[in-house]
Amino acid sequence: MKYTPTGVAGVTIIDIEPHRDHRGFFSRSFCADEFVSNGLIADVAQTNICHNRTRGTVRGLHRQAPPHAEAKLVRCVRGAIVDVAVDVRPASQTYGKHVMVELNAENRRALFVPPYVAHGFQTLTDDAEVMYQVSGPYEPASEEGFRWNETEFGINWPLPVTEISEKDANWPELCQATAPDRTGAS
């Protein structure tokens, strides 16, 4: 696999390196030893699948608050999405910056999102399906969210928002949110 750092500390693009023959191809999509050697968290506590019916759907921006570290490896297995990781770790050198990467069933690309970085995505196609491996169990009381259209983040979503949950649409603006715990910075 090929590991490409991004402009947000710890967020990494992971591309498969397929071995092709007349049958198709074979490739690893996850290897704990390679993750560790590239400085990434290799623990997998659960795997989630998220189906999205409508193009333009936004999910996020979410994270687990300290001390509940939750790294994610996100992959789109049907259709296409733009995946977004926003550094909301106040002590991080890349605080406030975001990365937007297209993940789709054809490019088979994945995005690694380290703990305490907010994550969300927008579907580019109808019936998009997203699978992600998570390093820790979901702790509902530790969920934090950030506005998908937070001015400070400057995210330019590629499509008009067609669907969003009431909870995601109503997270407080960053200036109104409680100051996040300063742990988890890179």
Residues serving a catalytic function are 62, 132
Phi, psi values for residue 35, rounded to 5°: -60, -50
Judge whether 38 and 30 are in contact, CB under 8 Å. Answer: no
The single-letter code of the amino acid at 186 is: S
- Give dist(CA 146, CA 149) in Å, integer: 9
Q: What contacts 140, CB < 8 A, 6 or more positions away?
A: none
Burial class (CB in 10 A: 0-12, 13-18, 19+), 17: exposed
Reading the block at residue 135, the tokens are 């390093």
Residue with token string 């703990």: 115
Backbone angle region of 107, left / alpha / beta, with phi > 0 → left and psi within -120 to 50 → alpha:
alpha
Backbone angle region of 80, left / alpha / beta, with phi > 0 → left and psi within -120 to 50 → alpha:
beta
Q: How many residues does the chain have?
A: 186
